[in-house]
Amino acid sequence: MNSKKEPSERRYSSEEVADIIRLSMQSDNPDRSNSVDYEELVSIARDVGVDADQIDRAVHLLEEEQMTKEKEQLLWRRFNAHAMSFGAVNVFLFLLNILTNPGYFWFLYVIFGWGLFLLGHYLGLRYAPQFVELAMQHTRRFGSNTYQSLLDSEDQVLFTDSDSMNLTDTQGMISMGDEHLVIEYQTADSMVGLLKTGVKVMEIPFGEIAGARLEQKLWSTEFVLQGKSMRSLGKYSGAKRGSIRVKIARGSTNAANELIDQLNDKLA
């Protein structure tokens, strides 16, 4: 004997109610927007015995779940970009190694070191995404506070820099000492925002400096510092052929011009 209940006799759970409403809306006229506003939602909930306070709490929980999902998707997109950079750079280094020194596989050191960092990035997202997000927020907050504290002083020349692969971001400032040009900077990973170094300080004696100038580009202003030898500026990771080239932050152009005038007076 068929014991199936008639629809009018059956009771439905809250999950079944949600599914029924969802399916009924999907079967509506496709030209009609399959959505309801807040008042309609409250009206539907009242019909099934749910009060407005419960609806508000449920809406709040739903928004939190959506925000959490969006944050996780952003973190994974950053990891994917990190992994793609890892693959592309190491393929390039492998080819460079084969072409220049096939008897010594130095590129393996890069794969091992960077691979450990990539593995840590993955494990963090896989098992502790909240920790990765907090670390990124802490780094951005720290960098923002440091940068803002520098902006409060009109005498500072602020700059930004990045490596050729855009894997790291560097922020710093340049100032004049009694006998040295002082460069302070800090580097962070551009993919996840984690700090890679503490604050580093370079004191370059005036006698080691050949000159300095500003170069106006289409979208930025660059500060170019030329040393008398490659050793003069070698401590800065972005130094090339005895010179440093960094982008001056907006608002620091006047201070940079004044610093260059003072420096040229010292070098004269």
Average pLDDT over residues 194-215: 86
* pLDDT tens per residue across span 89-117: 999 999 999 998 888 888 898 899 888 88
Whether residue 107 sits in one domain with residue 21: no
* 77 and 173 fall within a common domain: no
Whole-structure pTM over 0.75, yes or no?
A: no
CA atoms within 13 A on the CB side of 36: 15
Token pair of 16, please? 């079944």
How far is 139 from 192, CA to CA, in rounded Å? 9
In this structure, are 64 and 36 located in the same domain?
Answer: no
Same domain for 159 and 244? yes
User: Are 122 and 167 contained in the same domain?
Assistant: no
CA distance 237 to 230: 12
* Domain final position from 32, 50, 68: 50
**Bridge partners, residue 49, by sequence:** none
The continuous run of DSSP H or E covering 179 comes out as none
Domain limit, last residue, from 6, 28, 50? 50
Question: Domain ends where: 127, 143, 172?
Answer: 127
8 found inside a domain: no
Q: Would you say residue 192 has pLDDT above 60?
A: no
The domain of 215 spans: 154-267
Task: Tally the domains of the chain.
Answer: 3
Q: Is residue 1 in some structural domain?
A: no
Mean pLDDT of 17-22: 63
Asked if residue 97 is part of any domain, the answer here is yes
Lowest mean pLDDT among 194-203, 225-234, 235-244, 258-267: 194-203
pLDDT of residue 153: 47
Please provide residue 102's backbone torsions phi and psi, each rounded to the nearest 5 degrees: -65, -15
Q: Assess if residue 31 is contained within a domain.
A: yes
Task: Mark whether 42 and 76 lie in a shared domain.
Answer: no
The confidence score (pLDDT) of residue 152 equals 47
Tell me whether residue 6 is in a domain. no
Q: Identity (one letter) of the amino acid at 27?
A: S
What per-residue confidence (pLDDT) applies to 199?
Answer: 84
Whether 232 is covered by a domain: the verdict is yes
pLDDT digits (tens, 9 = 90+) for 118-165: 888 788 777 776 666 666 655 555 555 555 555 544 568 889 888 766
- Residue 104 and residue 81 in one domain: yes
Does one domain contain both 205 and 171? yes
- Tell me which range, 26-35, 128-137, 147-156, 168-177, is most confidently predicted by mean pLDDT: 168-177
